Amino acid sequence: MRSELRLDERAQAVAVEADPDAALRDLAEPILIDEWQIVPDVLGAVKRSVDTDPRPGRFLITGSVRGDVDSPTWPGTGRLLRVAMFGLTVGEIRGSLPQVPLFDRLAEHGIEPLMASPTEQLDLRDYAQLAASSGFPQPVLRLPPIEHGPWLESYVDQLLTQDVAMLATHRDPQLLRRYLESFALNTAGIIDHRAIYEAAGVAKATGEAYDRLLRDLLIIDTLPAWWTNRIKRLTRVPKRYIVDPALALAALRIDVPGLMKDGNLLGRIIDTFVVAQLRAQLASCDTQPRLYHLRQEKGQHEIDIIVEYGGGRVFAFEIKAGSAPSRADAHHLAWLRTTLDDRFIGGAVLHTGPRAFPLDDDIAAVPIAALWS
């Protein structure tokens, strides 16, 4: 950006509010407009400017999720391109992003882009530490590791008090905290919502309101259940996630040593960490992939991540906390390959060991670090 309008600064907000068109007219482009929801009329000025000169890339507009929920008008339809933003991935943090996103390379080359064993040798505890380090820029880029935990705990406290107060009224912070803790315990779970709100001790209506609220705050997300008419008895229950695994640990007040003693939660956090690495790539892909999960009724077949491309082509991931997956761990992927035939691009069993190696035709065991290394 060559110019910035930061509307949380009172002087700039007053000037823009007085005449938003004039405020934009003489600024060098591209222009960053931050906290747009403080002066919503600025979007009208952007609309008029873009209608006059439709060259793309003239404005970058950022702000609070409150604006999306509360704004009475949205003149950006057909003029603004929405880009979903999530926490930083390990590749972004380390500055090792490839020119072509991983999903696009998988669509073209199948399993091959994942077969080079990563240069760094990580084990299960290393991955747990990465998951606990968060993708929020402030702790991971600017604070020493010893301060990551206190920052995240403070973030959760402010989320449950200040941020919630902006978006909702009559929300009990203690009940909401219990709901968030229940959700965190079930992150990466294919679980009916009723089990979450009943475990938190809240009524159905309250649980549904909390779910919407945390979605609006971009704290929780889901992988929808994948569906195809080639496979019978597929469940429709989504797979539920805390967006950042470090937030789940902060909500539960569990550190890495504590996590290493809880095998069930450890597996969920590793799964949540992997999905966080993949989810953030979607907006940059030319192939426009979508993420799902697959589960048949009674769990006959279950696959952690289905990456669906146009034409129904599929790449699939299984996630294992172990370091030495065997051919048996690829059983569900092999079934999917046989079922989909030429629509199956490839499959990977992501694990915490050091090497990539074949398990079956178009299926390989791949270290999690191969997603960024």
Q: Considering its fold, how many domains does the chain have in total?
A: 2
Reply yes or no on whether the pLDDT at 67 is more than 70: no
Reply yes or no on whether the pLDDT at 74 is more than 70: no
What tokens were used for 263?
């095998």
Residue located via tokens 């008895």: 233
> What's the confidence (pLDDT) of residue 298?
85
β-sheet bridge partners, residue 319:
350
| Full domain range(s) for residue 60 | 3-70
In a domain, 80, yes or no: no
Determine the Cα–Cα distance for residues 226 and 243; give it in Å rounded to an integer. 20
* 336 and 299 part of one domain: yes
Question: Mean pLDDT across the stretch 247-259?
Answer: 96
Residue located via tokens 């046989």: 338
* 270 and 324 part of one domain: yes
Reply yes or no on whether the pLDDT at 71 is more than 70: no
* 182 and 54 part of one domain: no
Choose between 146 and 167: higher pLDDT: 146
What pTM was estimated for this model as a whole?
A: 0.91
Q: What is the pLDDT of residues 260-288, one digit of tens each?
A: 999 999 999 999 999 999 999 998 999 99
β-sheet bridge partners, residue 360:
363
- Model confidence band, residue 64 (pLDDT cutoffs 50, 70, 90): confident
Q: Which CB contacts under 8 angstroms, 24+ apart, belong to 39-46?
A: 39/7, 39/13, 40/67, 40/71, 40/72, 40/73, 41/16, 41/17, 42/5, 42/7, 42/16, 43/73, 43/74, 43/75, 43/76, 44/20, 44/73, 44/75, 45/20, 45/21, 46/75, 46/76, 46/79, 46/80
- Model confidence band, residue 72 (pLDDT cutoffs 50, 70, 90): low
Question: Mean pLDDT across the stretch 67-85?
Answer: 70
* 61 and 133 part of one domain: no
In a domain, 127, yes or no: yes
* 44 and 149 part of one domain: no
* 24 and 151 part of one domain: no
* 164 and 209 part of one domain: yes
Residue located via tokens 């009674």: 298
CB atoms within 10 A of CB 316: 26
* 39 and 177 part of one domain: no
Reply yes or no on whether the pLDDT at 220 is more than 60: yes
With vertex at residue 313, the alpha carbon angle to CA 311 and CA 319, rounded to the nearest 5 degrees, is: 150
Question: Mean pLDDT across the stretch 114-141?
Answer: 93
Question: Mean pLDDT across the stretch 344-363?
Answer: 97
In a domain, 75, yes or no: no
Q: What is the dihedral of CA 155, 160, 162, 167, to 10 degrees?
A: 120
In a domain, 78, yes or no: no
- Please identify, among 19, 36, 70, the residue that sits at the C-terminal boundary of a domain: 70
- Check: CB of residue 235 under 8 Å from CB of residue 225: yes
* 169 and 312 part of one domain: yes
Helix (H, G, I), strand (E, B) or coil at 140: helix
Question: Mean pLDDT across the stretch 26-39?
Answer: 94
Question: Mean pLDDT across the stretch 126-130?
Answer: 97
Least confident of 69-83, 96-110, 203-217: 69-83
